[in-house]
Amino acid sequence: MSNLSPNHFKARRAEVAKLLDKNSYLLLSSSKNLIRNNDTTFPFRQDSNFYYLTGFEEPDSVLMLSSEGESTIFCRKKNPDLEKWDGFMFGVEGAKEILKFDNAYDIAELTAIAPQMIRGSKSIYSLVGKDNSFDNDIISWITKANSLERHQGNIDLKNFTNTLGYQRLIKKDEEIGLMKESCEIAAQAHKAVMHNVRVGMSEYDLESMYLNEFRKRGSRFPSYTPIVAGGKNACILHYNDNNQKINDGDLVLVDAGCEYGLYASDITRTFPINGTFSSEQRAIYDVVLEAHDRACESAKVGNSCLEPQRVSEKVISQGLKDLGFLSESMDEILEKQLFREYYYHKIGHWIGLDVHDDCPYFLDGKEINFQKNMAMTIEPGIYVNDTAPIDDRWKGIGIRIEDDILITETGYENLTASVPSSADLIEELMKS
């Protein structure tokens, strides 16, 4: 059962229905059980968009939402024999009554009923391109529905991906509560691991510690595969082999978050395995921290969602110049983006039900401006890999600092502030 009430999702469906053309439907499908190998499956995780409008956490389901706000769920029939193996099923009547759908049918009836329901509609909305099989199903239903009209119908298929993504950007109070819990669990996990880490541990030792801390605090699953990167592995952005020894004197970059009530957290901290930053590590770290702090300060109502990126680029460029990594003028560094040699990713991403909430940074060709209750990550970094044109003493240092922030009326709230980010406080925690 969802952490949010059925009334929460019912109200959400009513809001989204108003975004549809008159005499139209929105069609969404659930996630499927995915085979891991042979006859075993991965743990089921509901599609975020489907969950956002239904709160329904079973596979093999379809939502049909009309522009008038009428909701119809197609789902599996209750099956006591299957429940003995896989656990509780709502069934058709349970889904309708408990989760407050207007109509409910057996998923086996979908192919017969769907064309009849959409017959004569102006438009069908869906998340085109997300699931090719479901796209093909919708096209076949539209074709069938058109053929049922005495005069050839002409139902338009429209992509609702960006519209729904934008709808998800602004979080309700109930969502924020779940996000705060997810963020606090992840923050306390990071603190616990930094306090208990010791020289001689490997990347997989640390990964197991994070996963254990998440679960101890009420989160069964990470929100993504953790990155635990010691030494030069930290210069690989999506490193997740997590199987190397961490040497004394190395930094370890850990990017790890968890899910709570399906809402994600996403934290990165970089710390010395022996508890003390070297002078070179500290010098780079302080530049990244300043970029992080200045970027957070720029995340406020009315500012472009890309303003933190621009701020971080300026701070990091100045830092790289001050350290002697770049010798060109600031104007040239920024114009030619010479900082990309060391800072080669964006400042962050939207976050919510997905660790990367699915919405672009532009709407109707314009940059999206921050609004109250939007949430995103701020995660600048500097990475000095082996090919960098710089003295060897700097090579192999990769640093990223990431927090999850919520836009407020007066600025921002750092939802992951419980885990320290300054070098001094990290050293203090590790030595306590």
Specify whether the CB–CB gap between 188 and 257 falls below 8 A.
Answer: no
Active site residues: 39, 238, 255, 266, 345, 349, 356, 379, 383, 400, 402
C-alpha distances out from residue 48 to 30, 127, 368, Å: 9, 12, 22
Model pLDDT, residue 39? 87
pLDDT-derived band at 149 (thresholds 50, 70, 90) equals confident
| Superfamily of domain 170-431 in the CATH hierarchy | Creatinase/methionine aminopeptidase superfamily (3.90.230.10)
Model pLDDT, residue 148? 87
pLDDT at 205 over 90: yes
Strand partners, 367: 362
Give the Cα separation of 255 and 265 in Å (integer). Answer: 10
Specify whether the CB–CB gap between 242 and 228 falls below 8 A.
Answer: yes
Identify the architecture of domain 6-167 in CATH: 3-Layer(aba) Sandwich (3.40)
DSSP state of 358: S
Other beta carbons within 10 Å of 99: 21
300-326 pLDDT, tens digit each: 999 999 999 999 999 999 999 999 999
pLDDT-derived band at 16 (thresholds 50, 70, 90) equals very high
Strand partners, 254: 228, 269
pLDDT at 151 over 80: no
pLDDT at 1 over 80: no
Q: What tokens appear for 10 in the block?
A: 């019912």
The DSSP element (H or E) to which 156 belongs, if any, is: strand 156-159
Domain ranges within the chain, ordered by starting residue? 6-167, 170-431
Q: Are 6-167 and 170-431 equal in CATH topology?
A: no
- Exposed/middle/buried for residue 93 (C-beta within 10 Å: 0-12, 13-18, 19+): exposed
pLDDT-derived band at 152 (thresholds 50, 70, 90) equals low
332-382 pLDDT, tens digit each: 999 999 999 999 999 999 999 999 999 999 998 999 999 999 999 999 999
pLDDT at 153 over 80: no
Give the Cα separation of 352 and 405 in Å (integer). Answer: 11
161-180 pLDDT, tens digit each: 999 999 999 999 999 999 99
Model pLDDT, residue 150? 67
